Chains A and B, each alone.
Chain A
Amino acid sequence: MAARRVSSLLSRSFTSASSFSKGRSSSVSRGIGKYSTAAAAVEDPITPPVIVGHTKLLINGQFVDAASGKTFPTLDPRTGDVIAHVAEGDAEDVNRAVAAARKAFDEGPWPKMTAYERSRVLFRFADLIEKQNDELAALETWDNGKPFEQSAKIEVPMFARFFRYYAGYADKIHGLTVPADGPYHVQTLHEPIGVAGQIIPWNFPLLMFAWKVAPALACGNTIVLKTAEQTPLSALYVAHLLHEAGLPPGALNIVSGFGPTVGAPIASHMDIDKVAFTGSTATGKIVLELAAKSNLKTVTLELGGKSPFIVCEDADVDKAVEMAHLALFFNQGQCCCAGSRTFVHERVYDEFVEKAKARAEKRVVGDPFKGGTEQGPQIDSDQFEKILKYIDYGIKGGATLETGGEQFGSKGYYIKPTVFSNVKDDMQIAKDEIFGPVQMVLKYKELDEVIKRANNTRYGLAAGVFTQNIDTANTLTRALRVGTVWINCFDVFDATIPIGGYKMSGIGREKGIYGLQNYLQVKAVVTPLKNPAWL
């Protein structure tokens, strides 16, 4: 059965019998042959169909230069060329932005408007986004390198969806009336927390903007946002539209720039009431520390992961291969919840590895603006170098490189889809977050064993479970110490579904109703009751 599946799949994709041969040299050399024509295409990048309109900081509703006058280049990851020079904020700009946000919060009108009026602004914004879908998607792809089709068909629509979702929550933020043990009338008011500092990463510049900005605004907060220095452009573009939709000045301020000079002043600012950070665990620790050292602002962190994807012995291997492939390779492997430890039951392990390798080799790498491209370049040279270094660790550590393992083409930051088999739990590639297109396939025997091994990590962001057996699914679901379990699916990111980490993958949950809590204070209001009719 397994053999038939393997051959039928291979006959569809590759005719060469050599596909069956394992070992590094043959697959890599064949890989080069396959990639050679596509690689030529990435040498001559397609001109993005969009103009960069906004490169300055956004403070109090105005696009302004940095106080220092400095700028930094944002690069096209396809080539390493400069797209635009962007105003480079620092502590002084953060102070200006916080002052604007503070004023907009303390004096209004944003938190003083009715929730329904806030919702109308957010609904209008979503409509404007839809009208500019393709321009926005092009800008996102240009700055980030992700496939244009992914930007245009998934991420920008999802961005609008997030804003509509939280727009719908603005007028449904309910406190409680509380039955105290005594003659008291008690109610809880869910109030906006104040000025929120938000620091977002480069892997999903727009979606991370939506995850943070939409709930914060729906609750009536004001914001100082720092975008990633790799991807400052799309946030400025949408911020312009948000004001067009009716957002008052100062409710959202954006300071582009670097972590130590913009991120740190936000995290340690005495007038910011809350900070939300998405990024690496190492930086998350710094954010938490700065909050502790400054004004004890509340902190939510959405950090790294090394998420297990568990393929059980009863799984449909073809589907599992495809899902595991997407779980890891989606967005060039630059996902915090990437399924980067693929645990496969020993009964289906060999078949799985063959097919996973074949699927990786089929993956279309190339200019993200080209139709059909599944994988663009990594974000920048740092990440590119880091990933190649990890691939090297994998080879030196004794894992079997099934395919990929090197740069794709000779320009920009493209890396070939890479699959390692025979990975052991204590290898560095099985422990660290690589954040690139590198799949690690591990073998297991028993359910208890895989639970232990899947949990044997300092991370706890997500997990995939592939099985048709409800008991296995339930057992794994409850045993895995992670914030999201996807059963027979992966990377399902609807606005309604909370996401966040156990252990060192972070603190708090974003999205869904849970995402509101990050941006609300709870105030208990208590009054004695005289002669109450009931208690």
Chain B
Amino acid sequence: MGGDSNGSSAPCESSFVKMMPTIKFTKLFINGEFVDAISGKTFETIDPRTGEVITRIAEGDKEDVDVAVKAARAAFDHGPWPRMPGAERGRIMLKFADLIDEHAEELAKLDTIDAGKLFGFGKAVDIPQVAHMLRYYAGAADKIHGEVLKMSRELQGYTLLEPIGVVGHIIPWNFPSSLLFAKVAPTLAAGCTMVVKPAEQTPLSALYYAHLAKLAGVPDGVLNVITGFGKTAGAAVTHHMDIDKVSFTGSTEVGREVMQAAAKSNLKAVSLELGGKSPLLIFDDADVDKAADLALLGILYNKGEICVASSRVFVQEGIYDELVKKLQVKAKEWTVGDPFDPKVRQGPQVDKKQFEKILTYIEHGKREGATLLTGGKPVGNKGYYIEPTVFTDVKDDMLIAKDEIFGPVMSLMKFKTIEEGIERANNTKYGLAAGIVSKNIDVINTVSRSIRAGIIWINCYFAFDRDCPYGGYKMSGFGRDFGMQGLHKYLHTKSVVTPIYNSPWL
């Protein structure tokens, strides 16, 4: 089907393939310097539009993590970062944000060639959002309030919210910039230092950001970036005895390993933002056209490579058939192609492994008896493009309704009553997000409170906001990113108590 239904005959051979930015940073960033891996090893980072090598990147290993942790430790234990007022950290972060704005185009290009993300969207939205995120947390750096307590005896008690120390961050490849800053920005505001491991698929922008951080005045050792693989660099971070907290975003399987490593090493604090199989519930009173748009966006945005994708769409029976028709038309209008092309809405999957995994799930879906409404095949013959795919008549126990596919594959299901919708929506090991499409306030309020998920979008989807925390219930993880909760993850509470004498009030 490829070109005829999705508007682009040969996405990978378009002229946009030439829009390669110059790659400036390929080494590890430790203690304010770009350095080779101790082993001297490098690995390839691949352009998912073509499968070709973009460049070779220093491959960090345990020894490099050790050096980075030492730098972060020294910067935390003796350096200026946690010792300067929050307002001053905020000033440096504001500068950092301005530098990102100045380099938005170049940064967007890096994420496009590295992750296959839409360039226009990256330049106009993703990268500016990163600067906004930094500004948000810059403004939070001097608003970290402890509490003065109401003690039950003649005691004066208060809490200090102290930076937790050296933080290890493990970042996924689907949002190399946004998810990096969901972690880095609050960590900076809190006064912590950190060792960041970007995904091996998408190391480029993280190194560029490290360079800008230094320019902005972030002291050496505060932000260290170790590029490399999960089994080596990631594992070294999670097992490290001198890292005080690890924050991981990625798959549920790897999340489990992270937590185990923390348990086996120094019991470092852990927060996990993992997989999802998020339901979108569309009720009979919904505007079907708008609901179809939302459902498609919910699964196709970022090629379906997003943990909160609405991969289970539950439609109330009264509008099910009409919605199916709409989806069929709209899915075909969804343009797949080179992410540098401004007309394109969907680029390639991040790598061969994901590409093949998604196609395997599509086969599972067909075999298990779901109806393939549209899509289901690769687009073109180069790179990792996949058609927007919609399955109807999906049953709750089919593999495509249970597992996180992480691709442009929607499972459409029919339900009758609110109670049934809620029960089936909750019938998953995940609990990251949910969407509700209805105008009925009672339905909305009931469903909002009943769904066991960290964020509920009502008549919208992906309405992320810096001030709005999100994170998982159940096996979607624990801890929240964004908002002031996203900052409090990087703080310890210390209670301070002293007797008082002759107080006129208690």
Q: Which residues of chain A have a CB within 8 Å of any CB of chain B?
A: 116, 119-120, 123, 161, 164-165, 167-172, 174, 185, 448, 470-471, 474-475, 478-479, 494-496, 513, 527-534
Residues of A within 8 A of B143 (CB): 168-169, 172, 496, 513
Q: Which residue of A lies closest to B156 (CB)?
A: A474
Q: How far is the CB of A526 from chain B (nearest CB, A)?
A: 11
Instruction: Give the chain B neighbours of A167 by CB distance below 8 A.
Output: 139
Contact A529 B446 (CB under 8 A): yes
Give every chain B residue within 8 A of A448 (Cβ-Cβ).
502
Q: Are B504 and A527 in contact (CB under 8 A)?
A: no
Q: Which 8 A-B pairs have the closest CB atoms?
A: A168-B139, A533-B450, A478-B503, A474-B500, A530-B442, A533-B449, A532-B449, A475-B502
Residue of A nearest to B506 (CB): A478
B498 in contact with A168 (CB, 8 Å)? no
Given contacts A475-B501, A475-B503, contact A164 B87 (CB under 8 A): yes
At the interface, yes or no: B162 with Cβ under 8 Å from chain A? no
Closest-CB distance, B176 to chain A (whole angstroms): 23
Cα of A475 to Cα of B506 in the assembled complex, Å: 12
Question: Does the CB pair B498–A185 fall under 8 Å?
Answer: no
- Tell me the minimal C-beta distance from B125 to chain A in angstroms: 14
Please pick, from B91, B136, B156, B445, the residue contacting A527 in the complex, using a CB distance under 8 A: B445
Contacts of A527 in B (CB 8 A): 441, 445
> Complex Cα distance A471/B504, Å?
14
A164→B90 contact, CB < 8 A: yes
Tell which of A174, A496, A534 touches B142, judged by Cβ atoms closer than 8 Å. Answer: A496
- The CA-CA distance from A125 to B502 in the complex, in Å, is 48
Interface: B160 (CB within 8 A): no
CA distance A513 to B146 in the complex (A): 12
Given contacts A165-B142, A168-B140, A478-B504, contact A529 B498 (CB under 8 A): no
B138 within 8 A of A: yes
Does A471 contact B445, Cβ atoms closer than 8 Å? no
List of A residues within 8 angstroms of B505 by Cβ: 478
Residues on B with beta carbons closer than 8 Å to the beta carbon of A530: 442, 445-446
| Interchain residue pairs with CB less than 8 A apart (10) | A116-B466, A164-B87, A165-B142, A168-B143, A174-B467, A471-B499, A474-B498, A496-B142, A529-B442, A529-B445
- Give B139's nearest chain A residue, CB to CB: A168
Q: Which B residues have a C-beta under 8 Å from some C-beta of A?
A: 87, 90-91, 94, 132, 135-136, 138-143, 145, 156, 441-442, 445-446, 449-450, 466-467, 484, 498-505
Chain B residues within 8 Å of A471, by CB:
499-501
By beta carbon, the residue of chain B nearest A471 is: B501
Chain B residues whose CB sits within 8 angstroms of the CB of A528 once the complex forms: 442
Q: How far is the CB of B441 from chain A (nearest CB, A)?
A: 6
For the complex, what is the distance from the CA of A466 to the CA of B309, rounded to whole Å? 60
Q: Are B156 and A116 within 8 A (Cβ)?
A: no
Contact across chains for A474 and B501 when beta carbons are under 8 A apart: yes
Closest B-chain residue to A448, C-beta based? B502
In the bound complex, what is the Cα–Cα distance between A478 and B499 (angstroms)? 12
**Cα distance A167–B442 in the bound complex, in angstroms:** 37
The docked-state distance in angstroms from the alpha carbon of A171 to that of B141 is 13
A123–B498 touching, CB < 8 Å: no
| Nearest CB of A to B120, in Å | 22
Chain B residue with minimal CB distance to A533?
B450
Assess the B449–A478 pair: CB atoms within 8 A: no
Query: Given A123-B135, A479-B503, A513-B143, A168 and B90 touching (CB < 8 A)?
Result: yes
* Residues of chain A contacted by B450 (CB below 8 angstroms): 532-533
How far, in whole Å, are A169 and B500 apart by their CA atoms in the complex?
34
Apart from A116-B135, A171-B139, A475-B501: 19 A-B pairs, beta carbons within 8 A: A116-B136, A119-B135, A120-B135, A164-B91, A165-B87, A168-B142, A168-B143, A171-B466, A171-B467, A172-B143, A474-B501, A475-B500, A478-B504, A479-B502, A479-B504, A513-B145, A527-B445, A532-B445, A533-B450
Contacts of A120 in B (CB 8 A): 135
Chain B residues with CB below 8 A from A532, complex form: 445-446, 449-450
**CA A479 to CA B502, docked complex, whole Å:** 8
Write the nearest CB–CB distance from B94 to chain A, whole angstroms. Answer: 7
A119 touches B503 (CB 8 A): no
Report the minimal beta-carbon distance from A340 to chain B, rounded to whole angstroms: 23
B94 touches which one: A123, A161, A475, A531 (CB < 8 A)?
Answer: A123
Nearest CB in chain B: distance from A312 CB, A: 14
- For B467, give the chain A residue with the smallest CB separation: A171
Which residues on A sit within 8 Å (CB–CB) of B140?
Answer: 168, 172
Contacts of A169 in B (CB 8 A): 139, 143
When chains A and B are docked, how far (Å) is the Cα of A343 from the Cα of B442? 64
Interface centre among B94, B138, B139, B449 (most CB of A within 10 A): B139
Task: List the B side residues contacting A116 at CB < 8 Å.
Answer: 132, 135-136, 466
* Min C-beta distance of A168 to chain B, whole Å: 2
CA distance A406 to B142 in the complex (A): 44
In the complex, the answer to whether A185 meets B445 with C-beta atoms within 8 Å is yes
Give chain B residues whose Cβ lies under 8 Å from the Cβ of A475. 500-503
Closest residue of chain B to A165, judged by CB? B142
Instruction: Note all chain B residues with C-beta closer than 8 A to A174.
Output: 467, 484
Q: Which residues of A contact B446 (CB under 8 A)?
A: 529-533
Q: A164-B90, A169-B143, A171-B467 are in contact. Are A534 and B449 (CB under 8 A)?
A: yes
Contact residues in A for B467 (Cβ distance below 8 Å): 171-172, 174
Q: What is the bound-complex CA distance between A164 and B156, given in angstroms? A: 32
A120's closest neighbor in chain B, by CB? B135
Return chain A residues, CB-CB under 8 Å to B90. 164, 168
Chain A residues closer than 8 Å to B503, beta-carbon distance: 474-475, 478-479
A229 to chain B, nearest CB (A): 33
Within the complex, the shortest CB–CB distance from A497 to chain B, in Å, comes to 11
Find the residue from A169, A170, A531, A532 having the highest chain B CB count within 10 A.
A531
